[in-house]
Structure 1
Amino acid sequence: MTLSSKTAPIPTMDVKSKEIIEEDENFLKFFNKQLIRLFYDAFRFSLKSPSYAYFLLKTLQYQKKAQKVRSKWKEQQLHVPAFLIFSVTGKCNLQCKGCYSHAQHRNKEAELSSQKLRDIIAEAKDLGISIILFAGGEPFIRPELLDITAQFPEIIFPIFTNGLLINDIMIQKLKKQKNVIPVLSIEGGYEETDLRRGTGVFGKVQNVMQKLFQARIFFGTSITLTTSNFSIVTQTTFIQSIIDHGCKLFFYIDYVPVKERTEHLMLTEEQASQISLLTDHFKKQFSQLFVAFPGDEEKLGGCLSAGRGFLHISPEGRIEPCPFAPYSDTNLQDVSLKEALQSKFLAQIRQNHDELMETRGGCALWEKQEWVKTLLHK
């Protein structure tokens, strides 16, 4: 099935189908407003840097343009999410405890080629996708990544990285690409980070932060929240210490127990309920940006997976609902992104969104993976 400007008449729908479409349209309007608001906040915080403020102003204009493109596709019954999570490789230079990428034991298939990466991003841009988050493994295992992003200055590319492969050559490239945002992963301070990521890692990440700060590169940090580090990484003294190293953006991500016998690391209900209040407080106290996942999803009506807000692309090219739900009926090695967005599997998840009420584990798809599998088999 392909789309054209001449779409077939929409068949008669039952009441439930009409309710789903109406709810979907209301969500998209709200989601788009929240997305634009995030960039407005970033623009307001950047006024001390005229060059970066100018970049964000252009970015804001492009985000609005991309939003209109997505709305036009919606009129033709094609649901295009605002952003992608793109795991560009499963390889990594570290062996972190509880790594979800290693825990999934994916089939050893060939990863997407550099040309295929470019082609997918180019098509994503044409479809109105305006934010592509690179994950892994370790994204910078692929040395060509910054050469690819340089070809798409309109798209925002947060890159979740352990930071250890960022060298002086890469820093020079990053200085020229304000649309690329390195997001360095830590677990807290020296003790917490080195315990999970390896001895000496936190000190090395600090050195990279210092270099990025000196080069005036906008960067952030990603912190996985667990029962053991929650009280530490939500202290204002900790946040200030990271800000002092130049960090402008904080991602708080709930731990998902992808490895057996790690359920004790999941946030308690009390801790999970505090996240939104804490990030709202931090936004008032600090001039940095704070994003909580999946905490901020709840403000948007729950799980954003399966294209409702985002999609995941595996290193092999499989279109998946979420990084924590490695199930797919479509591979970009075989079809275009436009065709993949019409996946019946993803549509079923979106249409049954009421099944994905957020739970204690944070990730509803992870906790309901058996239900997700039944949809795939259907």
Structure 2
Amino acid sequence: MVARIAARMLLTTDKRALWKFAYNFGYKGMRSVQKFKKRLKQGEHFPPFLFISIINSCQLRCQGCWVDVASPRQMISLEDLDKLVTDAKKRGNSYFGLLGGEPFMHPGLLKLLERHPDCYFQIFTNGQLITDEVAKKLRKLGNATPLISIEGSEVVSDERRGGRDVLNKTMEGVKNCVRNRLIVGVASSICQTNYDLVSKEWLNRLIELGVHYVWFHAYRVVGPSPTPELALTPEQLLNLRKFIVEMRTKAAIGIVEPYWDDRGEALCPMATGISHHIGPSGAIEPCPIIQFAKETIHDGPDVYDIMTKSEFLDDFRRTSAEATRGCVVLERPDLVRDLVNRHSAGDTTQRGTALAELDLLEPRVSQHNPEHTVPEKQWLYRFAKKYWYFGFGAYT
């Protein structure tokens, strides 16, 4: 399986892009985690992976979206993004996830990539703004991979994404990326209406399209219109985990999910401290779906200083890890509310209703299922998760 994935990468991607992926993301990413471990021993929490929502705007209106996509445009300026990445690089960071809204609506996106050729960027996108010209620019830069959201069939995509002809427009973006030999990923938020994507047939179709990796995550019941009827059942969540583990031993495509460790026990990237989120206002949040903050990127000399001194983030990590190995927002919205009130954290949304939304959430299951753990079978995934993506002492 590993050999087949490697062969596909070698034969179908631009060599510059492949080198940047291997060095900036692979080697330097592992090195950043080692530095993270050393910082933990000194009592300093600064994540090796930062996820940054660079803009709130988006041309789609997805079910369950927690971003204020219809509100006045709010974005982190190119200058602030440049400083943020530069400051994080000083601490050994080299990988950054760029989210929105729709990141390709940010006028400075490509300039940011150009200014930091020694970093690697994963761009979470609906793919509709990736024209052939944009894909050519990404190929020339070589230091970014588009992770394109596909939520199912034509009918399901229009319903889930709140648009018309969504799938065809998104597929054009995928084809432009593949044609320009980029490293291409597809992400799917698995829910009741697109559970059929959890199939070998879907993976085979993506392979035929030229996609190199897929990211499965369970639909999150959050935001101003949480749509709880879309949530997966505990049985479906367990089956999703089993499917991922099994297909990692068989399918010639990378499969990403950051929500279980090598032993099959659940984990939360926020609670382990391996990642935090910065919103389009510059607010420093525990994770993308927790839209509360005490600090912004403007509150100190650099983001490292701000985050390592944040009592709010520290309390959030510890309290969440003590409560569950899963998602604290889904399982214990009451704890999230208590943490927000205890620290007088501000609502970082433009709609100003995040706390009221928390009050309306009913506790539900997440990936934490200690009675039914599914350990990794494939040696490379097991090794990588054990040494570079695990609990980091959060659950001891």
Aligned to 2:288, which of 307, 323, 339?
323
1:242 aligns with 2:210: no
Structure 1: any 5+ residue segments left out of the alignment?
1-38
User: Which digits, 9 at most, give the CA deviation of each residue in 1:110-167, with x for residues without a partner?
Assistant: 5322101110011111112232111111111112201111222232211111111112
Q: How many pairs align?
A: 336
The answer (yes or no) to whether the contact 1:163–1:184 under 8 Å persists in 2 is yes
Q: Which residue of 2 is the match for residue 312 of structure 1? A: 277
CA distance in 2, matches of 1:120, 1:296: 29
Q: Which residue of 2 is the match for residue 184 of structure 1? A: 148
CA distance in 1, matches of 2:261, 2:42: 29
Change (3 A) 1:310 1:267: same
User: Which digits, 9 at most, give the CA deviation of each residue in 1:20-52, with x for residues without a partner?
Assistant: xxxxxxxxxxxxxxxxxxx99976863446825
Structure 2: any 5+ residue segments left out of the alignment?
346-396
CA distance in 1, matches of 2:202, 2:4: 23
CA distance in 2, matches of 1:40, 1:131: 25
1:130 aligns with 2:94: yes
1:195 aligns with 2:163: no
SS at match of 1:169: helix
TM-score (norm 1): 0.80
Q: Which residue of 2 is the match for residue 370 of structure 1? A: 337
Q: Which residue of 1 is the match for residue 324 of structure 2? A: 356
The answer (yes or no) to whether the contact 1:327–1:376 under 8 Å persists in 2 is no
Q: Which residue of 2 is the match for residue 116 of structure 1? A: 80
Shift of 1:293: 5.0
Shift of 1:192: 1.3
RMSD, matched Cα? 3.0
CA distance in 2, matches of 1:320, 1:297: 27
Change (3 A) 1:91 1:109: closer
Aligned to 1:344, which of 300, 311, 325?
311
SS at match of 2:215: strand
Q: Structure with the greater relative contact order (CA < 8 A, sep ≥ 6): 1 or 2?
A: 2
The answer (yes or no) to whether the contact 1:257–1:263 under 8 Å persists in 2 is yes
User: Which digits, 9 at most, give the CA deviation of each residue in 1:323-372, with x for residues without a partner?
Assistant: 1111111111222201221200111122221113426x984575743233
Aligned to 2:9, which of 37, 46, 69?
46
Change (3 A) 1:61 1:304: closer
The answer (yes or no) to whether the contact 1:297–1:304 under 8 Å persists in 2 is no
User: Which digits, 9 at most, give the CA deviation of each residue in 1:241-298, with x for residues without a partner?
Assistant: 2222111111112111224461111110000112221111121221211122545699
Shift of 1:173: 1.3
Q: Structure 1 counterpart of 2:296, which letter?
A: N
The answer (yes or no) to whether the contact 1:348–1:375 under 8 Å persists in 2 is no
Range 72-81 or range 199-208, more displaced: 72-81
Q: Structure 1 counterpart of 2:77, which letter?
A: S
Shift of 1:319: 0.6
Q: Structure 1 counterpart of 2:311, which letter?
A: K
The answer (yes or no) to whether the contact 2:63–2:225 under 8 Å persists in 1 is no
- Counting only pairs closer than 5 Å after superposition, residues 142-161 of structure 1 correspond to structure 2 as 142-161=106-125
The answer (yes or no) to whether the contact 1:279–1:290 under 8 Å persists in 2 is yes
Q: Which residue of 1 is the match for residue 185 of structure 2? A: 220
Q: Which residue of 2 is the match for residue 81 of structure 1? A: 47
Range 117-126 or range 303-312, more displaced: 303-312
Q: Which residue of 2 is the match for residue 96 of structure 1? A: 62
CA distance in 1, matches of 2:252, 2:20: 18
The answer (yes or no) to whether the contact 2:63–2:226 under 8 Å persists in 1 is no
Q: Structure 1 counterpart of 2:117, which letter?
A: P
The answer (yes or no) to whether the contact 1:43–1:53 under 8 Å persists in 2 is no
1:70 aligns with 2:33: no
- Counting only pairs closer than 5 Å after superposition, residues 223-302 of structure 1 correspond to structure 2 as 223-230=188-195, 232-258=196-222, 259-260=224-225, 262-292=227-257, 294-295=259-260, 299=264, 302=267
User: Which digits, 9 at most, give the CA deviation of each residue in 1:155-189, with x for residues without a partner?
Assistant: 22111111111123211111023320101111112
The answer (yes or no) to whether the contact 1:306–1:322 under 8 Å persists in 2 is no
Q: Structure 2 counterpart of 1:185, which letter?
A: S
- Counting only pairs closer than 5 Å after superposition, residues 162-177 of structure 1 correspond to structure 2 as 162-177=126-141
Change (3 A) 1:121 1:41: farther
- Counting only pairs closer than 5 Å after superposition, residues 200-215 of structure 1 correspond to structure 2 as 200-215=165-180
